[in-house]
Chain A
Amino acid sequence: RKEVEQDPGPFNVPEGATVAFNCTYSNSASQSFFWYRQDCRKEPKLLMSVYSSGNEDGRFTAQLNRASQYISLLIRDSKLSDSATYLCVVNIVRSNSGYALNFGKGTSLLVTP
């Protein structure tokens, strides 16, 4: 089983639509969760952290279900500029007290006029 799994899409939605992305992770010891956004041929950029109680940032809402090891991202009132690949990211602890992040392969979103 892959450590972080996402539906690759693409999700094609009209402007103004609401769209939801899901992600599952395999390591129950993971403690930190994030959503990143990556535009074509660009670096990933942090969109938002995901907290246990769920959190909202403008049109974006993230949810975490630790029991099911499931993370979601909801985008309301989609804009053309939301078109990008959305990466689900989960932390993994390393034995030397370091840690690293496991990135999903991403879900592609295309918002159309």
Chain B
Amino acid sequence: SQTIHQWPATLVQPVGSPLSLECTVEGTSNPNLYWYRQAAGRGLQLLFYSVGIGQISSEVPQNLSASRPQDRQFILSSKKLLLSDSGFYLCAWSAHRGNNQPQHFGDGTRLSIL
């Protein structure tokens, strides 16, 4: 069966520090991969998605970036964190076949910027 792993679960970082969140998927090949952010009391906002290695699409302008160095690895990064980057970051995967596939989420990383 497929599993998705995200780490760390919780992270506290100072303003201006760099960020790297990692997500890996097991049990499937060539998945679509996604990064979302959920701010406190708000809905999920899609940040990036990827349909293949090295292919990244950005949904909103921001100081975050994403990379997909391997088929089942998706990384979210920032060179300098802002206070507004605080939130609950969720990685998700879906099967690559067709457009009617649901997405499955990792446990999420709760990021607090001080």
CB-CB < 8 A to B70: which residues of A?
none
Residue of B nearest to A4 (CB): B43
Q: Which of A94, A102, A104 contacts B49 (CB 8 A)?
A: A94
Q: How far is the CB of A5 from chain B (nearest CB, A)?
A: 11
Residues of B within 8 A of A103 (CB): 36, 43-44
B58 to chain A, nearest CB (A): 11
9 tightest CB-CB pairs across the interface, nearest first? A105-B43, A43-B105, A32-B100, A103-B44, A98-B51, A99-B99, A46-B102, A43-B108, A34-B102
* Contact of B51 with A96 in the complex, beta carbons under 8 Å: yes
- CB closest residue in chain A, given B105: A43
Number of A interface residues, CB 8 Å? Answer: 26
- Which B residue's beta carbon lies closest to that of A48? B102
Residues of B within 8 A of A94 (CB): 49, 57
Other-chain residue from B36, B44, B99, B104 in contact with A91 (beta carbon distance below 8 A):
B99
Q: Residues of A at under 8 Å CB distance from B? A: 31-32, 34, 41-46, 49, 87, 89, 91, 93-94, 96-106
Residues of chain A contacted by B42 (CB below 8 angstroms): 105
Point out residues on B near A: beta carbons under 8 Å: 32, 34, 36, 42-44, 46, 49-51, 55, 57, 59, 88, 90, 99-108, 110
For the complex, what is the distance from the CA of A93 to the CA of B32, rounded to whole Å?
A: 13
Set A31, A32, A104: member contacting B43, Cβ < 8 A: A104
Q: Cβ of A31: which chain B residues have Cβ within 8 Å of it?
A: 99-100
Contact A100 B34, CB 8 Å, known A43-B106, A93-B99: yes
In the bound assembly, the distance between CA atoms of A111 and B114 in angstroms comes to 36
Question: Across the interface, do B107 and A43 meet the contact criterion of CB distance under 8 Å?
Answer: yes
Query: What residues of chain A lie closer than 8 Å to B104, measured between beta carbons?
Result: 46
Whole-angstrom CA separation of A97 from B46 in the bound complex: 17
- Separation of A41 and B112 alpha carbons in the complex (Å): 14
CA–CA, A43 to B104, complex, Å? 9
Most buried by B among A94, A99, A104, A105: A99
Give the interface centre of B55, B101, B106, B110 by most chain A CB atoms within 10 Å: B101
